[in-house]
């Protein structure tokens, strides 16, 4: 039976200093346009109907580079959020940070407005690799950013780190990871560089290590993280303090999405439909439509809800419970019984009682496992 899941809020801040050649997110370099915070709040006003009497579970501010936001804009945003939303005292509120754009004073001010978790886009501590990736910070600046964040009281910090970089060998990848571990963050996102469509790297592909070496980097990196107390709970996420926001995504929870190009996912208990909301991608179009508070969210029903659930849930190391499947999709688990049996027979999935989770083989070949449910 369909039940109302927890709900989070995603806020998109589309501007950055420089577009990275690997980035396929909705990010735009150039001058930050005025009026964006007011447009965000009007956008949120239109989506408040989707709360359906729920508290906001978590907030994530992504981009772009949201740490470019001025403190006055941050105060305006959070004052507006507090006026509109039921927010619990223990809510997780994450801000994405670029080490090349932070100011020490800003960290303290961001904490004062209510942000209690930082996700720092380090990607590498190696200056040559940072140059290759088009990053505007140095390895030293990344280390300093993490120290300064801790100094002003942030104790929940994620470090983003890539592997499979240009001419990178396994030892270099390990050194990068050890530097991150030695900084004692609460969370590390360790993921492979991929050449996404419509990026500069896709148009002019760099020479990357071969697939065997990349796989070994990921495998040895995962082992190193586990040995240092960072437990893998999702494909690229390691922590003994998992992100509430990430977990809500992977468990097919709901989320409001506001900002240029933002997506939301909503369960409507009145119509028993599950749908996505979509916002205009261009910051110019977004500002024109939302500054006057006349734009409504574009709605797109999720047609293959069982696949969407499995696509997300199978990314979790512990897998999913069949009760969760039924409450989040409104479908009986029996509807995907043949696919579950096929995946088990192929050695990609295990099932014990009502818990379904990827085997080690299934986790290593996740795309093959997910495709079975398509």
d(CA 360, CA 285): 45
Residue 299 clears pLDDT 80, i.e. is over it = no
Please give the angle made by the CA atoms of 114, 115 and 118, to the nearest 5 degrees.
Answer: 170
How do residues 304-361 score in pLDDT, each as one tens digit? 999 999 999 999 999 999 999 999 999 999 999 999 999 999 999 999 989 999 999 9
Query: Structure pTM?
Result: 0.95
One of 1.10.10.10, 3.40.50.720, 3.30.420.40, 1.10.1740.10 is the CATH number of 305-371, namely 1.10.10.10
Rg, the chain, Cα only:
21
How confident is the model at residue 295, as a pLDDT? 60
Residue 17 clears pLDDT 60, i.e. is over it = yes
Where are the chain's structural domains?
7-249, 305-371
How many helices (H) and strands (E) are present in the chain, helices listed first?
15, 17
d(CA 354, CA 347): 18
Q: Do the strands 28-29 and 15-16 form a parallel or antiparallel pair, or are they unpaired?
A: parallel
How do residues 27-52 score in pLDDT, each as one tens digit? 888 788 889 999 999 999 999 999 99
CATH class of 7-249: alpha beta
Residue 68: partners with Cβ closer than 8 Å, 6 or more residues away: 13, 15, 16, 17, 32, 98, 101
Fold: same for 7-249 and 305-371: no
Which tokens in the block code for residue 266?
């909503």
Residue 294 clears pLDDT 60, i.e. is over it = no
Give 168-228 as a DSSP string.
--HHHHHHHHHHHHHT--SEEEEEE----TTSHHHHS------HHHHHHHHHHHHHHHHHT
Which tokens in the block code for residue 127?
């200056």
């Amino acid at each position: 039976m369909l039940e109302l899941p927890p709900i989070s809020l995603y806020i998109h801040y589309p501007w950055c200093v420089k577009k990275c050649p690997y980035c396929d997110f909705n990010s735009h370099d150039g001058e930050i346009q005025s009026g964006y915070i007011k447009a965000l709040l009007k956008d949120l006003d239109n989506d408040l109907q989707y709360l359906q009497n729920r508290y906001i579970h978590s907030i994530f501010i992504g981009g772009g580079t949201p740490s470019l936001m001025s403190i006055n804009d941050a105060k305006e945003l959070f004052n507006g959020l507090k006026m509109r939303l039921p927010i619990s005292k223990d809510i997780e509120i994450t801000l994405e940070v670029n080490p090349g754009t932070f100011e020490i004073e800003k960290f303290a001010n961001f904490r004062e407005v209510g942000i209690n978790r930082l996700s720092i886009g380090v990607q590498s501590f190696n200056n040559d690799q940072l140059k290759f990736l088009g990053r505007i910070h140095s390895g030293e600046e990344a280390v300093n950013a993490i120290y300064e964040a801790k100094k002003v009281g942030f104790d929940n910090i994620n470090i983003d780190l890539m592997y499979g970089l240009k001419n990178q060998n396994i030892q270099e990848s390990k050194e990068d990871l050890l530097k991150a571990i030695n900084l004692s963050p609460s969370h590390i996102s360790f993921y492979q560089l991929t050449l996404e469509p419509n990026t500069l790297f896709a148009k002019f592909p760099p020479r990357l290590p071969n697939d065997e070496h990349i796989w070994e980097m990921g495998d040895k990196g995962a082992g190193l993280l586990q040995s240092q107390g960072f437990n893998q709970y999702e494909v690229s996420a390691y922590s003994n303090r998992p992100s509430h926001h990430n977990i809500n995504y992977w468990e097919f929870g709901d989320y409001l999405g506001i900002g240029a190009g933002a997506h939301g996912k909503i369960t409507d208990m009145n119509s028993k439909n599950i749908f996505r909301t979509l916002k205009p991608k261009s910051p110019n179009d977004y500002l024109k439509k939302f500054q006057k508070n006349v734009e409504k969210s574009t709605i797109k029903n999720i047609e293959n809800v069982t696949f969407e659930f499995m696509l997300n849930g199978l990314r979790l190391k512990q897998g999913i419970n069949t009760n969760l499947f039924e409450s989040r999709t409104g479908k009986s688990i029996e509807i995907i019984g043949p696919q579950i049996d096929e995946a088990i027979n192929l050695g990609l999935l295990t099932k014990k009682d009502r818990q379904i989770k990827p085997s080690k083989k299934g986790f290593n070949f996740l795309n093959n496992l997910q495709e079975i449910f398509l």
